[in-house]
Amino acid sequence: MTLFSPLHLREVTLPNRIGISPMCMYASQDGQVSDFHVAHLGRFALGGAGLVIAEATAVHPHGRISPFDTGLWSDEQVPGWRRVTALVAASGSVPGVQLGHAGRRAAVREPWRAGAPLDETDAAAGFAPWPLVAPSALPAGPGHAMPAELTARQIAHSVQDWHDAAVRAVSAGFRFIELHGAHGYLLHSFLSPVSNRRTDRYGGSAENRLRYPLEVVAAVRDAIGDGIPLSFRVSAVDGAEGGSGIEETVHIARRLAAAGVDLIDTSSGGITTDRSTDTRIRRGFAFHADFSRRIRDEAGVPTATVGLVVDAEQAERLLDHGDADMVLLGRQVLDDPNWPHHARIALGDDSHDSWDVRYGSALGPRARTLARLTASGETPLTRFSP
């Protein structure tokens, strides 16, 4: 079972190749971890995932997507995260976090309120929009505020924010760090020609557009030391007219790997919210697998694939086929947090040894009882048979 073989990344070993994809939960006040986060992330670790990546966590308050994002811009946010990492690690899983800065896509409402830009109604409720920053003064799409173009000096400060957040992440107990370089947020907006129209050393050529992300990678690597793996989530294709495609992303992946990135987490899209220029890819099963495979093959860097990975055999085959080194699951584990345990059973190991002993010692005998009843022809509805 490739899915349940360990993955070694620097000094960290993931016990299996199933990771929980970062998912914003909009359950935070002032960037603080809440009881919800502890339960939410803890149950994925109990569910058997080898890696649990906490949601996009802002390196600066202005880098929050919404007012309800988690943060690591302050030392005061560290103790809350320690509750999460202790629980995840105690369950045999590796605690990870995605550090992010939303850039020109910051200051919006939760998805169930259409992710719309914050306005005066939100301000009246105490959630005023804040100033946006970006490589160039171009809004993310209709209705979004105009971001200010970052000066070279502000870029240097921003690199320091990532560094400091990474130091806090390690001190909070995270053993895997991911940088959010996708979905149109700040790092991606520097990489893409759609959003980066600068004429200084941070814009123009592909090399110049890579400069800020590479500076962030170097700063974060310096902050976390040599032992902790660093992942970078890319948008393999920008998903907009005039945007980057997979060839550019293979090049970007190669450069990131040379700068100290260990895993390319392969996603797509988001560079604009303007649906009229949006050329998003079709959402089929494992819809990023072709991209994660190309990056893995052509850039020679380990990859994670994400997007409608839903089934144990599908996940196993993706790995055996060389599409990626690990799978990340998002919505599937919201539906079934015990998916990794269930996948192990589906692939032929029904020992229940991978479950927390408090669960496994009860579920193993139950499975044997259910098997006996099934063999005898008894079903849950037998008592109601005529």
Ligand X SMILES: Cc1cc2nc3c(=O)[nH]c(=O)nc-3n(C[C@H](O)[C@H](O)[C@H](O)COP(=O)(O)O)c2cc1C
Applying CB under 6 A, the residues found at the interface with ligand X are 21-24, 55-56, 98, 180, 182-183, 233, 267, 306-309, 329-332
Q: How far is the CB of 378 from ligand X (least distance, A)?
A: 37
Question: E strands along the chain, which residues?
Answer: 7-9, 12-14, 18-20, 51-58, 94-100, 133-134, 148-149, 176-181, 230-235, 263-267, 303-306, 326-329
Nearer to ligand X, 203 or 229 (CB): 229
d(CA 189, CA 148): 13
Cβ contact 95:84 at 8 Å: yes
Residue nearest to ligand X (CB): 330
Nearer to ligand X, 184 or 203 (CB): 184
Nearer to ligand X, 134 or 329 (CB): 329
Q: How far apart are CB 328 and ligand X at their closest, in Å? A: 7
To 10 degrees, what angle do helices 78-90 and 35-46 make? 20
Alpha-carbon distance of 295 to 297, in angstroms, equals 6
Question: 307, 288 in Cβ contact below 8 A?
Answer: yes
Nearest approach, Cβ of residue 312 and ligand X (Å): 14
C-beta separation of 136 from 198 below 8 A: yes
Nearer to ligand X, 180 or 221 (CB): 180
Task: Please state, in angstroms and rounded to a whole number, the distance separating the CA atoms of residues 278 and 140.
Answer: 12
Minimum distance of ligand X from residue 331's CB (angstroms): 3
CB of 52 to ligand X, least distance (A): 12
- Cβ closer to ligand X: 136 or 332? 332
Q: What is the largest CA-CA distance in the chain?
A: 82
Query: Under 8 Å CB-to-CB from 384, ≥6 apart: which residues?
Result: none
Q: What CA–CA distance (Å, rounded) separates 157 from 211?
A: 15
- Specify whether 26 is catalytic: no
Nearer to ligand X, 326 or 363 (CB): 326
Please identify which residue in the block is written with the tokens 């050529």.
205
Q: What is the Cα gyration radius of the chain?
A: 22
Structure letter (DSSP) for residue 180 = E
Catalytic residue, candidates 26, 185, 202, 359: 185
Q: How far is the CB of 134 from ligand X (least distance, A)?
A: 18
Is residue 81 within 8 Å of residue 97, measured between CB atoms? yes
Catalytic residues: 185
